[in-house]
Amino acid sequence: MTARGAERSGEVALDIDLGLLQQFEQSLDPRRPESCAVPARVLGYGEISTVFELDAQPGIAFKRMPIFRDSRELDSYDATFDRYYLELRSAGLELPDSDRVHIVSDTDRIILFLAQTKLPSESIANKVIHSLDIDDTARLELAVLRELAKVWEVNRRESGLELGIDGQISNWSVKGYVEGDGLPPEPELIYLDTSTPFVRLEGVEQLNAELFLRSAPSFMVWLLRWLFLEDVVTRYYDLRLVVIDLIANFIKEQLPDRIPALIETANDFFTGEGAALGIEPITDKEIRSYYREDALIWILYLNMRRLDRGLHRIARKEYPYILPGKIKRR
């Protein structure tokens, strides 16, 4: 294996042990990542990536992305990531210290590791909400809406530049949150998910959208590209859809009773301090419909990925992706 870091602006170099990452990747069984010879803990799952922490590198959260076919794809992603990171910071969002390195495996697969300073697990907003009452949950949502509005203010102000963002509740950390102390009077948030750099320049998407399909079963790629790819990418440039996704995610978090208050808070924001954004009111019917459709898509997608993993195993082919276990949904 070979490994290297990338020169970049805007990020903070973290003390990453490249040799340890190489050992981790060499001994990794994607079906059982926590049984790796290099002790590690999975912190979370995405559609194309997995977040983990190495016992020997405490305090750093690594996102593993084995999706690049050649150095040109990686270099293009690096450039888009740099632009996105800097633009989010310029917009006023607070981001964790982060760094990036990549490894070329013995099978010539490029694996990118995005590294961030690991924040306390109890501060991650999808955990925080389970200790809040409805009023404080609405206050937390309002704080998220104000952060999202900063992104769309850039889009209104900057000619030729458009940013998107995935605003779901699990992508935020409540700064300085201490479990049991309640939500601070003026909650400050840190945005975590910079790994999907949504940047358009003069209307042209800078991120290679095909990367979203790399973890998809080969027999489904054409269908996903035809039916879903453009819609999935485009939704993150539409603030109304981003907020619908944010609110609908509370159903997945087993907190459907919060939905009415969250809708009211969002609509008050859109007619009040966020009126300049020109967002139409959101309805309960839209939230429920969006969640049902989104849940159905991702359940089908995950089941097909599990089938694809089994087929790779039968054919004795490498399957580099780590899949989540059963996801609890309502």
Predicted confidence at residue 327, as pLDDT, reads 61
Distances (CA, A) of 126 to 6, 20, 27, 157, 202: 31, 30, 32, 31, 35
Beta-strand pair 189-191/40-45: unpaired
| Structure-token pair, residue 5 | 């870091």
Distances (CA, A) of 240 to 64, 165, 276, 280, 281: 30, 12, 13, 8, 9
Q: Among 165, 124, 125, which Cα is nearest to 142's?
A: 125
* Extents of the domains making up the chain: 2-69+96-117
Query: What confidence tens digit (pLDDT) does each residue in 49-64 have?
Result: 789 999 999 999 999 9
Q: Among 318, 287, 327, which Cα is nearest to 109's?
A: 318
Question: 60: buried, middle or exposed (CB in 10 Å: 19+, 13-18, 0-12)?
Answer: buried
Predicted confidence at residue 163, as pLDDT, reads 97
Beta-strand pair 161-163/50-54: unpaired
- Say how far apart CA 330 and CA 327 lie, in whole Å: 10
What is the rounded average pLDDT for all residues in the chain?
Answer: 88
Amino acid at 96: P
Predicted confidence at residue 227, as pLDDT, reads 62
Q: Percent of the chain at pLDDT above 70?
A: 91
First CA to last CA distance, the chain: 43
Query: What confidence tens digit (pLDDT) does each residue in 71-108 have?
Result: 999 999 999 999 999 999 999 999 999 999 999 888 88
| Structure-token pair, residue 228 | 């879903």
Distances (CA, A) of 84 to 147, 161, 267: 15, 11, 28
Mapped onto helix, strand or coil, the DSSP state of residue 313 is: helix
Dihedrals φ, ψ of 211, to 5°? -60, -30
Cβ–Cβ < 8 Å for 143, 124: no
10-residue stretch averages of pLDDT, the chain, 330 residues long: 48 82 88 84 78 92 91 95 96 95 88 94 95 96 98 92 95 92 93 94 90 78 67 87 96 95 98 95 95 80 83 84 68
Dihedrals φ, ψ of 54, to 5°? -85, 135
